Amino acid sequence: MWQCWKADCSITKMKINHFIILSVVLLAIVSCNKDQPNVKTNTQRKVRYELYTNEDFSDDQHNILFNIFMRNGQKTIFDSPLAAMKIKDIPDSNHRIIIERPVPDNDTSSLIVGFNYQIENVGFSWFLDTFPAADTFKLLRYPFR
């Protein structure tokens, strides 16, 4: 099959054989699809709560109590009150209250996160948002009005 016209015929055959072997190996490496093992990441899901106001409440002496919370479906997985304050004392956006909270047990479900608040002798209200299951960080900014 091979005909060599030169004295270095065996060297030429070796070069061709090495080229063929190298090509086959490279083709096998490139064409392989290896399944990656299910690697569990240590990424902790977190919610960052930010509370502030852009309004002027300097004359409002009502007491207000805020709670921050996380809900998984109908189950509350985190609920924490903030210190009671006067409405006039809610900070502006340059001095906002910031609380960063990890999701307990790194729950991977979709969550509802938010603020509940009660104004003394006025009533209750809330501010809610969703935290999709695929996300690892949620920023919840609430400009109180």
Alpha-carbon distances of 71 from 5, 41, 47, 108, 137, rounded to whole Å: 82, 23, 12, 12, 15
Residue 51: what pLDDT?
96
For residue 120, the number of C-alpha atoms closer than 13 Å in the C-beta half-sphere is 10
Cβ-contact 135, 115 below 8 angstroms: no
What does the pLDDT look like over 48-67, one tens digit per residue? 999 999 999 999 999 999 99
Cβ-contact 103, 111 below 8 angstroms: yes
3-state secondary structure of 6: coil
Name which residue leads in pLDDT, 35 or 116: 116
Residue 100: what pLDDT?
96
pTM, full prediction:
0.68
What does the pLDDT look like over 110-124, one tens digit per residue? 999 999 999 999 999
User: Does 2.60.40 match the CATH number of domain 46-144?
Assistant: yes
Give me the residues paired with residue 143 across strands: 52
Average pLDDT value over all residues in the chain: 82
Token pair in block for residue 111? 């969550």
Q: Among all chains, which residue has been given the structure tokens 């502030």?
A: 52
